[in-house]
Amino acid sequence: MRKLRHQKRDNSASNRGQMAVVAILTAARDVLVEEGYPRLTMRNVATRAGITVGNLSYYYANKRDLMHDLVEAVLQGYFEDFEKITDNLEISPEERFEEMVRFIIGDLATKETTGFFPALWALANHDAFAAQEMAHIYQMERDSLAKVIGQLRPDLGKKERDLLALFISASMEGHTMFVGYRRDKASAIAEVTNIAVYSFLTLVKSIEARSIRGLKPVGKSAGKRLAS
Amino acid sequence: MRKLRHQKRDNSASNRGQMAVVAILTAARDVLVEEGYPRLTMRNVATRAGITVGNLSYYYANKRDLMHDLVEAVLQGYFEDFEKITDNLEISPEERFEEMVRFIIGDLATKETTGFFPALWALANHDAFAAQEMAHIYQMERDSLAKVIGQLRPDLGKKERDLLALFISASMEGHTMFVGYRRDKASAIAEVTNIAVYSFLTLVKSIEARSIRGLKPVGKSAGKRLAS
Amino acid sequence: MRKLRHQKRDNSASNRGQMAVVAILTAARDVLVEEGYPRLTMRNVATRAGITVGNLSYYYANKRDLMHDLVEAVLQGYFEDFEKITDNLEISPEERFEEMVRFIIGDLATKETTGFFPALWALANHDAFAAQEMAHIYQMERDSLAKVIGQLRPDLGKKERDLLALFISASMEGHTMFVGYRRDKASAIAEVTNIAVYSFLTLVKSIEARSIRGLKPVGKSAGKRLAS
Amino acid sequence: MRKLRHQKRDNSASNRGQMAVVAILTAARDVLVEEGYPRLTMRNVATRAGITVGNLSYYYANKRDLMHDLVEAVLQGYFEDFEKITDNLEISPEERFEEMVRFIIGDLATKETTGFFPALWALANHDAFAAQEMAHIYQMERDSLAKVIGQLRPDLGKKERDLLALFISASMEGHTMFVGYRRDKASAIAEVTNIAVYSFLTLVKSIEARSIRGLKPVGKSAGKRLAS
DNA sequence: AATGAATGAGCGTTCATTCAT
DNA sequence: TATGAATGAACGCTCATTCAT
């Protein structure tokens, strides 16, 4: 995760308040990342932002609004990141694809991302807003991926490209808990990234629509299993 | 997730207490799954288990101990599941591999697993015990996977097999938030599972050690990128 | 106000909790009476009852429930008081009427009543529950009054008796803020009570239904006023 | 309640500030009337007046001062109202008396009065200033009443006239909670007013000083009661 | 006159935990 | 084993008030 993008709503002259909002959002993210969601309290955020609870409530009347802005700020950061890669036409589609994979896996190993996203996933299970924002950000990621997949495999239909993007995106996210910041297998990140690039590229270049639809290629073991 | 396995520690005659513990653990899991970690309170657990807070504290003096047992009980269930698949020698290694993939992805779409594991991942970021237990369960999953990979690719070294198992295991877990219970892309689970089986099998059967180590095959774009 | 009547809901053996509830309700009434509604906080009540906020919440999960029980306890006390007077058949209807007037005005001068009821009236303007409970208690008062009025004036219809009871009841309540505990005109309570007895008795004994309906008796000034 | 009378203290040229004060006082009264005293916050007043909290504090440094002015403004309005009736010499004393009764009961049924006065009474129990202002306004009301009573009954002493005025004034105020705006018995206001006019007129015209002092007229039941 | 920003105390409520019975 | 009662800290939030600009 690189930086928070706070969209100011009103263009008031005062930038003192604007700075406070950035401090609050950064503090909130840091508390969430370093201490976890249950400790993301208004008091902790205020303390870390160097203000009082009362003043925090001046900027965010309630926790929900704060969470809202926090998630949106994180989102906006990724939106800008993905755009840069997708719009880089100086390199080939295959290179762009590899770059996306390396960017995403590289990002998920940062302290912020390793801390933030699992919290968001857990939240999304019981919080409609978190679920919606999560859907939004991953739709963006999949769209970027599907675009490049289309350039690599123009023969595939939109549905197949979207499913491949879904599979690849979800697979990458899964590595957060293993090669993420200070996680168990963090030392294997280089190798895992290499495998990811190889695996996803091979997948995209070789798969046939029937493998997705479930008609196993000839010689597969499925028949035998059904017989048993 | 299928069921909770609670290992009684003392062999006391009372099985009333044993039943109470199972009720408590089940209640705890259900609260966690249905309401999320922040609402996993001693009161909620006690109420759902049909006992009083005071009595809950007789079985679990504090929340940490309860969490401990809960995570271990979930773990134990999976230990038994994996064992059954790994020990099934009536089918070929390739079939065993496919079965593992289909079992894991099938499981992650259950209500319990979709609810439980993201909470565990988030917790593991800030709770050493959760991290340790998580490491334990996934080590088990990877061991099972690595064993079958070894049968499929006897030419690969242990390190490569382990890395492939890590990549495949992590990739599968990543689908929890997307095709899991009531998640965004739940309807695509069949196609995603097919892609997973195809992709992982292709990967295992085709990858060379040098692709893992990072020496890209000739003609790769890496050189060019480094030059830019 | 004489005493609080707390109706225990469950007949549990423990009277420790029962005593705590009485202590809480008494504390709540005293805070309300002595410090006013804005200072009727859970903390103040707990402190005065000699318990902690946490323990108060064990008995009353929220302020609304506490208020509910408090108002009902006060109500119940009056219910018993009125019953005693109404059921006293040893004295004549006129004496019973006088006794009721003297009891109500006498009660309104007690510290508890002077403090409690104006707070309830103010509350009833914006709190449906308070309004409903208030309606309940005064209906009871009017019913008692109307009963005696009926014995004094059997010639009057029910509607007229009810209106007289309403007028008399409301008039008496109005004295709370003037001859109530430590209020401006507290020293005039004896004379005011005498006037009340004389006035209400004269009213009941002399009024004709047409004076209530608005048809002024002959010789009244209404006509002249309309002409001017 | 008809309108707020704010007396400007300094004769500064700025009438912008004067208008702001009226807006603030009106906002304060409306919040009190519509939402109740506990919600009469500086923020609510400022918001309703269309200014910021900071600016409100320019006009009223603290809540006490604001309350002070609010109560005085309401008072002043009544002062003007009573003066008009008292000074109307075109009608007879009896008519003037009836007009006062009808005016007061009519006023107490307005939204503003029904909301404002019970709040003031409750406040007066614990706030010396509110008690003092309340005393002031009702003294005025009683003075007006006593004046007319004196014209009706020149034979009575000042003390008796004052006591009658106290009884009548207090009785009328008591109807606020019953026939006031949106209160329980609001539909009975016409009949109650008729009863009030009849009752108070009868009282004033017939009562003897000894009935006030407590020496009951011959034939009364007091003797019997004392005997029992 | 007016704003936006800030404080610190207090609110109702929830919580993990303890303990006598 | 099981309960009801109790504690003290923390939670999200609101408030009157202050102050620099």
For B28-54, the pLDDT digits (tens) are 999 999 999 999 999 999 999 999 999
| B102 in the same domain as B41 | no
Angstrom distance (rounded) from CA A135 to CA A141: 10
Residues B125 and B163 in one domain: yes
What is the identity of the amino acid at B119? A
Chain B residues in contact with A165 by the CB 8 A cut-off are none
Claim to verify: residue A55 and residue A108 sit in the same structural domain: no
| Residue entry with tokens 């006065």 | D117
Q: Is residue C99 part of a domain?
A: yes
| pLDDT confidence of residue A13 | 45
Q: Give the tokens for residue D213.
A: 């002092």
Please compute the mean of the pLDDT values over residues D62-82 and round it to a whole number. Answer: 91
- pLDDT tens for B71-94 read 999 988 888 888 888 888 889 999
Distance from CA of C13 to the nearest CA of D (A): 40
* CA pair distance B189, B182, nearest whole angstrom: 11
pLDDT for A79-125, tens place per residue? 888 888 888 889 999 999 999 999 999 999 999 999 999 999 999 99
Please choose, from the candidates C140, C18, C1, the residue with its C-alpha nearest in 3D space to the C-alpha of residue C77: C1
On whether residue A74 sits in a domain, the answer given is no
In chain D, which residues from 35 to 54 place their CB closer than 7 Å to nucleic acid strand E?
A: 51-54
Distance of CA A224 to the CA centre of its chain: 40
Smallest Cα–Cα separation from C148: which of C168, C173, C172, C133?
A: C168
How far is residue D170's CA from residue D191's CA, in Å, rounded to a whole number?
Answer: 19
Radius of gyration from C-alpha coordinates of chain A: 21
Q: List, in order, residues 6 or more apart from A44 with CB less than 8 Å away.
A: A31, A35
Cβ of B174 within 8 Å of Cβ of A170? The answer is yes
Structure tokens at B128: 């050493």
H helical segments located in chain C: 15-35, 42-49, 53-59, 63-86, 93-108, 111-124, 128-152, 158-173, 176-179, 189-206, 209-213, 222-227
CA dist A195 and C97 (Å) reads 97
pLDDT tens track for C172-181: 999 999 999 9
> Please, which residues have CB within 8 angstroms of residue A102's CB and are 6 or more apart in sequence?
A193, A197
Contacts of A122 in chain B (CB under 8 A): 36-37, 118-119, 121-122
Q: Is B164 close to A195, i.e. CB distance below 8 A?
A: yes
Q: Among A62, A78, A109, where does a domain finish?
A: A62
- Rounded to whole angstroms, the distance from the CA of residue A36 to the C1' of nucleotide F7 is 27
Are residue D57 and residue D104 in the same domain, yes or no?
no
For residue D49, the domain's CATH number is 1.10.10.60
Q: How far is the CA of A123 from the C1' of F14 (A)?
A: 27
- Nearest nucleotide (C1') to the CA of residue A55? E6
The reply to whether B57 and B102 lie within a common domain is no
Does residue C72 contact residue C132 with C-beta atoms inside 8 Å?
no
Buried b (16+ CB within 10 A) or exposed e, A31-62: bbbebbbeebeeebbbebbebeeeebbebbee
Pair C103, C85: CB distance under 8 Å? yes
Q: Which domain holds residue D168?
A: 88-215
Residue D113 lies in a domain: yes
Amino acid identity, residue A74? Answer: V
Q: Please report, rounded to a whole number, the percentage of residues in chain D having pLDDT higher than 90.
A: 77
Residues B204 and B101 occupy one common structural domain: yes
Q: Kindly state whether residues D205 and D134 are assigned to the same domain.
A: yes
pLDDT band at A199 (very low <50, low <70, confident <90, very high): very high
Residue C147: exposure state from Cβ atoms within 10 A (0-12, 13-18, ≥19): middle
- What residues have CB less than 8 Å from B44, skipping those under 6 apart? B31, B35
pLDDT band of residue B14 (cuts 50, 70, 90) is low
Structural domain contains residue C226: no
Q: Which residue has the higher pLDDT, B120 or B228?
A: B120
DSSP of B105-160: HHHHTSHHHHHHHHHHHHHHTT-HHHHHHHHHHHHHHHHHHHHHHHHH-TTS-HHH
Using CA atoms, how far apart are residues A101 and A192, in angstroms rounded to an integer?
A: 11
Contact B46, B56 (CB under 8 A): yes
Alpha helices in D60-208 (DSSP H): 63-86, 93-108, 111-124, 128-152, 158-174, 176-179, 189-206
Q: Cβ(C35)–Cβ(D126) under 8 Å?
A: yes
- Distance (Å, rounded) from C-alpha D22 to C-alpha D70? 10
Q: Cα distance from A17 to chain B (closest Cα, Å)?
A: 31
Domain boundary residue among D46, D62, D78? D62
Residue among D94, D177, D185 minimizing CB distance to C121: D177
At residue B89's C-alpha, the angle toward residues B87 and B94, to 5°, is 100
Distance in angstroms: CA D184, C1' E5: 46
pLDDT of A165 above 70: yes
Number of domains chain A contains: 2
Tell me the pTM: 0.90
Give the pLDDT confidence score for residue C217 in this predicted structure.
52
Q: Please, are residues A119 and B122 in contact by the beta-carbon 8 Å criterion?
A: yes
pLDDT at residue D80, as a whole number: 82
Q: Do A92 and A56 share a structural domain? A: no
Residue B228 has, within 13 A of its CA and on its CB side, a CA count of: 9
| φ and ψ of B216, to 5 deg | -65, 145
Q: What is the largest CA-CA distance in chain A?
A: 75
Is residue C130, in this structure, part of any structural domain at all? yes
Q: What percentage of chain C exceeds 90 in pLDDT?
A: 78
Q: Which residue is nearest to nucleotide E6 (CA to C1')?
A: A55
My answer on whether D121 and D35 are in the same domain is no
Statement: residue B154 has pLDDT above 50: yes
* Cβ pair B32, B116 in contact under 8 A: yes
Alpha carbon of residue D144 to chain centroid:
12
Residues near D115 by beta carbon (within 8 Å), at least 6 away in sequence:
C125, D32, D33, D34, D36, D181
Half-sphere CA count of D100, side-chain side, radius 13 A: 33
> Does pLDDT of B228 surpass 50?
no
Q: How far is D189 from chain C (nearest CA, A)?
A: 10
- Tell me what pLDDT residue C98 has: 95
The residue in chain D having the minimum alpha-carbon distance to the alpha carbon of residue C204 is D199
Average pLDDT, chain C: 90
pLDDT value of position C13: 45
Answer for the pair B158, B70: CB distance below 8 angstroms, yes or no: no
CB atoms within 10 A of CB A130: 20
- Whether the CB-CB separation of B45 and B27 falls below 8 Å is answered with yes
* Domain closes at, from C62, C79, C110: C62
What is the chain D residue with the closest CA to C34? D126
* Three-class DSSP category at C20: helix
Whether residue A76 lies inside any domain: the answer is no
Task: Render pLDDT for C117-153 as a digit per residue (tens, 0 to 9).
Answer: 999 999 999 999 999 999 999 999 999 999 999 999 9
Q: Is any atom of nucleic acid chain E found less than 7 Å from the CB of residue C40?
A: yes
The CA-based diameter of chain C, rounded to the nearest angstrom, is 75
pLDDT at position C12, please?
47
* Residues A119 and A38: beta-carbon distance below 8 Å: no
Cβ–Cβ < 8 Å for B100, B158: no
Torsion of CA D170, D174, D176, D182, to 10 degrees: -170
How many Å apart are CA D125 and CA C37, to the nearest integer? 11
Question: What's the burial of D9, exposed, middle or buried (CB within 10 Å: 0-12/13-18/19+)?
Answer: exposed
Mean pLDDT, consecutive 10-residue stretches, chain C (228 aa), reads: 68 70 98 98 98 98 97 90 86 93 97 98 96 94 94 96 98 98 97 98 96 66 36
- Do you know the residue count of chain C? 228
Per-residue CA distances from A181 to A105, B33, B128, C51, D186 (Å): 11, 26, 14, 48, 70
Structure tokens at B116: 């439980």
Q: How many helices (H) and strands (E) does chain B have?
A: 12, 0
Task: Give the whole-angstrom CA distance, residue D142 versus residue D109.
Answer: 19
Task: Tell me: do C20 and C111 sit in the same domain.
Answer: no
The encoded tokens of residue B76 equal 């134990």
Of D168, D74, D176, D69, nearest to D118 by C-alpha is: D176
Same domain as C20, residue C93: no
Neighbours of A122 (CB within 10 A): 27
- In whole angstroms, what separates CA B21 from the centre of its chain? 23
Does B21 reside within a domain?
yes
CA C210, C1' E7: Å apart? 66
Residue D169 tokens, joined: 């004034």
B62 in contact with nucleic chain E (CB within 7 A):
yes
Residue C89 tokens, joined: 């058949």
* pLDDT given at position A46: 98
Minimal Cβ distance to B225: which of A95, A138, A192: A95
Q: Is the pLDDT of residue D137 over 80?
A: yes
Tell me how far apart the alpha carbons of residues A66 and A61 are, in angstroms, rounded to a whole number: 8
Q: Are A178 and A191 in contact (CB under 8 A)?
A: no
One domain, residues D96 and D190: yes
Q: What is the pLDDT of residue B222?
A: 37
